[in-house]
Structure 1
Amino acid sequence: MNENIVVGVDIGTTKVCAVVAAEDELDRVNILGVGVAPSDGLNRGVVVNIDRTVNAVRSAIEEAERAAGVEVRSVIVGIAGDHVQSFQSRGVVTIRSGEITQNDVQRLLEDTMHVAMPADREILHVIPQEFIVDGQDGVADPVGMSGVRLEANVHIITGLVSAAKNIYRCIEKSGFEVADIVLEPLASSFSCLHDDEKEVGVALIDIGGGTTDIAVFEDNTIRHTAVIAVAGNKVTDDIRKGLGVMRDQAEQLKRQFGTALVDFADETEQIEIPGIGGRPEKTIGRDTLAQVIQPRLEEILEIAAIEIKRSGYARHLGVGCVLTGGGALIPGTADLAAEVLGMEARIGRPMGLSGGLVEEVSDPKYSTGVGLVLYGMRPEVIGGSTLSEDIDQHRNGERVSGETLVNRIATRMKSWFDEL
């Protein structure tokens, strides 16, 4: 396999999406292949049926392989679910030599990880917020500076060990290797947000099928992450129960006729709903469907607003919020978000791509898949090297077990201050 080819796999609650991309000599990213398979082996972002998930992963990657004409061996996979939690931590080390080196930064980041953690949880990412040298704060990169005391504030993202292992097992059983595990809202942010948005302050809200992922950025640094378990599937369930239709029909109605705001729906437009069990068809107004969709989307956005407030950065979001994910495809979602959150809102689509199947992936539902690929090509966006390099050093011809992989995620912290 060409070294510059990267494969991202977004294992979602409703679909598995595989994206194959390559980087040319001018550092342009070309999308070579995309594969999508319906997924029903997950519940709220967590694997609940290994076999179904394996089948979906395999068919999505095979479809992407056929489109790209390459053979895939290792993939970068996303992790989400309401088990993901994040918190701030602080560490301090003393500098004996008087000059701060890369090793000192490494020691400091390892020190910040010494936090009381339940046995069933594992650190996924450690992202430095700022460094403090001898009480002088606001240091972006302390290497080379003189000092005797080095401190850091870091953002630590944790997840359930079992959830990470199950994702790993699904990929391994499909016949591929895991190069890296990345938090999904972090991945989506790489493909949907402009650098200047991250600097001024922005909240990313990724409305998927089973989970809604939130990431808050300011000063080019991720400040808060959260995953909530209310998303697009709840909207579909409301339509199913409210209108008395099958789940597939509810999903089709949502996609074809759904609007997020009742005001946007045409009262005169009628929708035919097939009858169940031999009953006759019935017709409803399009505004009736919007009356079912709007309250649930409002609830999702209100919970997102609570999370943004909890981050403490609600007043710092100069450019408002960016909505992405399949749930953001319902017309009027951005207007509803602007109303509920009281800030500017836009729909985020993958960007930063140069060639290949750009048209095919410029859709909010591919944000995470494209983001995983962009991260794989430039892991320094949150600093450091990808996990695959660590695995290659430790493998020596053997396959790395899920246990080792999850432990390795905790140690994948080399030069993570680069992002600042």
Structure 2
Amino acid sequence: MDKKSILAIDVGTGMVKVLAGRQETDGRIELYGSGAAPTAGYVRGVITDVSALAYSIRQAIECVVMATDSHAAGSVYLGISGSMLVAQNSMGTVATATSGSVTNADVERACKAAVFSVANSEYEVLHVFPAKEVITQLGAALEVETHIVSAPQSILQGLSNALSESGIQLNGIVASGIMAAEGMNKELPGQPANFIFIDIGAGVTDISMYVGGCLCSSASLPLGGDYITNDLMQGLSVSRAHAEEIKRYYSRLSPNLRNQGIVLDCNDYGTVDKHIPFDFLYDIIESRVDEIVTLVYSYLKPLQEEYLTNQGQAFEAIYLTGGCGAMPSVATCVTKVFQIHTETVKPEGLAAEYVHPANTVCYGILKHGSRISANEPVAGRSAWSLLVHKAKKLLKI
């Protein structure tokens, strides 16, 4: 791989996924290879064993190296999510450099002020997004509300050190859900200004809320497809792998099969008694889907009222992605509960065999890393991040 190649690592509850590629001048992502390994040391967004997780990441990267028949070179970006991420909004106020106008430099300085106001020596800032700009006194003061995402330095440093011992040098650690949303932002159907982007994985649901085209809120909730898998394991007395296969099989079937007396052959190797009524599967799976969506709605409802303050403003769409988000019944349930147009999206910019909602995070990380390697501006990560890091050390904030 050349120096401009990117290794995008998505740490999920079930699997660690790695895509290797680069962004071409026409914006298309060219992939060199992919890899995956079962996740260890990471449960529903919580790192329980740094060494075990580092080993899983190493295994996934080795799959890429074998597939590309080369050494893993270029830049390496790791996506994380879960309760370790802390999202907060902070206001930064500065005087504008020129009376009557606001420049990018003014906004940048206001973002710096916002970060310093919430700086904490125990946390490292991963992303800073300008969410809302207000001129309080024309020519005198600019207020910028920012959305800041941080993570504990001890966790980030511990993971970086464990990977370094395995020969993996990270160029950056990013928030997975936000990278998925940012990577797809310019490719969403309809290009709405106000929308909610939801990435539902096995153990974590990442939420990104956009108002006026700007990220204003994000969260990682400990909810996901594992709830469905666990119920299937108990209800059908099958292994986890078998339950996952049944879940995928069910996702390809029409809900219209309900009340038709349909019995499904769900046998796997070593089983002969797994002939399961469709209605029984429907009741197990759909009750859990409804529960997951209802919990997400309960979290988002007050935020919708908080951020949509202008009269007549409303969210135009909800976009779903992720392995569990790809289930058709999830989109149906979200539409019913939220009463908002809902679509499932996937990274169409990848080669056909990789166009699946489960690869959206890696796609976003690839685009993020490619912009950095090309020295282009990157939303949520300014050039002054190094300055902030040095200043915090100097001031011992």
Q: Distance in 1 between matches of 2:193 and 2:25?
A: 32
Conservation of the 8 A alpha-carbon contact between 2:265 and 2:276 = yes
Partner of 2:341 in structure 1?
Answer: 344
Give CA-to-partner distance per residue, 1:75-98, whole Å, 9 cap, x none.
111120023232221121235786
Partner of 1:201 in structure 2?
Answer: 194
Residue 174 (structure 1) aligned to one of 166, 177, 182: 166
In the TM superposition, 1:87-236 aligns within 5 A as: 87-94=88-95, 105-115=107-117, 120-136=122-138, 147-193=139-185, 194=187, 197=190, 199-236=192-229
In the TM superposition, 1:225-304 aligns within 5 A as: 225-258=218-251, 263=256, 265=258, 267-272=260-265, 281-304=273-296
Equivalent position SS for 2:324: helix
Which piece of structure 1 moves more, 36-45 or 91-100?
A: 91-100
Q: How far does residue 288 in structure 1 lie from its aligned partner after superposition?
A: 0.7
Partner of 2:18 in structure 1?
Answer: 18
Q: Distance in 2 between matches of 1:30 and 1:386?
A: 26
The TM-score with structure 2 as length reference comes to 0.83
Conservation of the 8 A alpha-carbon contact between 2:128 and 2:380 = no
Partner of 1:79 in structure 2?
Answer: 80
The TM-score with structure 1 as length reference comes to 0.79
Equivalent position SS for 2:202: coil
Letter in 2 for 1:22: R
Q: How far does residue 235 in structure 1 lie from its aligned partner after superposition?
A: 1.1
Conservation of the 8 A alpha-carbon contact between 2:54 and 2:159 = no
Conservation of the 8 A alpha-carbon contact between 2:77 and 2:170 = yes
Which piece of structure 1 moves more, 368-377 or 309-318?
A: 309-318
Conservation of the 8 A alpha-carbon contact between 1:302 and 1:341 = no
Q: Distance in 2 between matches of 1:18 and 1:58?
A: 10
Letter in 2 for 1:337: V
Structure 1 unmatched ranges of 5 or more: 137-146, 395-405, 412-420
Equivalent position SS for 1:235: helix
Percent identity for Structure 1 against Structure 2: 25
What's the C-alpha RMSD, in Å, of the aligned pairs? 3.4
In the superposition, relative to structure 1, how do residues 338 and 134 fare at CA in structure 2: closer, same or farther (>3 Å)? closer
Conservation of the 8 A alpha-carbon contact between 1:258 and 1:289 = no
Q: Distance in 1 between matches of 2:294 and 2:265?
A: 32
Q: How far does residue 350 in structure 1 lie from its aligned partner after superposition?
A: 0.7
Conservation of the 8 A alpha-carbon contact between 2:293 and 2:330 = no
Q: Distance in 2 between matches of 1:97 and 1:226?
A: 36
Partner of 1:370 in structure 2?
Answer: 363
Give CA-to-partner distance per residue, 1:269-294, whole Å, 9 cap, x none.
32356699x99725320221121111
Letter in 1 for 2:130: P
Partner of 2:353 in structure 1?
Answer: 360
Q: Distance in 1 between matches of 2:301 and 2:70?
A: 45
Which piece of structure 1 moves more, 255-264 or 335-344?
A: 255-264
2:320 aligned with 1:323: yes
In the superposition, relative to structure 1, how do residues 221 and 270 fare at CA in structure 2: closer, same or farther (>3 Å)? same
Q: Distance in 2 between matches of 1:285 and 1:120?
A: 53
Partner of 2:299 in structure 1?
Answer: 307
Q: How far does residue 409 in structure 1 lie from its aligned partner after superposition?
A: 12
Q: Distance in 1 between matches of 2:192 and 2:44?
A: 31
Q: Distance in 2 between matches of 1:238 and 1:408?
A: 49
Which piece of structure 1 moves more, 93-102 or 376-385?
A: 93-102
Q: How far does residue 169 in structure 1 lie from its aligned partner after superposition?
A: 3.5
Conservation of the 8 A alpha-carbon contact between 1:260 and 1:336 = no
In the superposition, relative to structure 1, how do residues 96 and 256 fare at CA in structure 2: closer, same or farther (>3 Å)? closer
Partner of 2:68 in structure 1?
Answer: 68
Which piece of structure 1 moves more, 229-238 or 60-69?
A: 60-69
In the superposition, relative to structure 1, how do residues 224 and 238 fare at CA in structure 2: closer, same or farther (>3 Å)? same
Which piece of structure 1 moves more, 204-213 or 324-333?
A: 324-333
Q: Distance in 1 between matches of 2:117 and 2:108?
A: 16
Equivalent position SS for 2:171: strand
In the superposition, relative to structure 1, how do residues 92 and 331 fare at CA in structure 2: closer, same or farther (>3 Å)? closer
Q: How far does residue 383 in structure 1 lie from its aligned partner after superposition?
A: 5.4
Equivalent position SS for 1:200: coil
Q: Distance in 1 between matches of 2:383 and 2:18?
A: 18
In the superposition, relative to structure 1, how do residues 5 and 316 fare at CA in structure 2: closer, same or farther (>3 Å)? farther
Conservation of the 8 A alpha-carbon contact between 1:198 and 1:219 = no
Q: Distance in 2 between matches of 1:96 and 1:320?
A: 38
Conservation of the 8 A alpha-carbon contact between 2:7 and 2:76 = yes
Which piece of structure 1 moves more, 7-16 or 173-182?
A: 173-182
Letter in 1 for 2:336: E
2:85 aligned with 1:56: no
Q: Distance in 1 between matches of 2:253 and 2:295?
A: 16
Partner of 2:329 in structure 1?
Answer: 332
Count of matched residue pairs: 381
Q: Distance in 2 between matches of 1:119 and 1:49?
A: 23
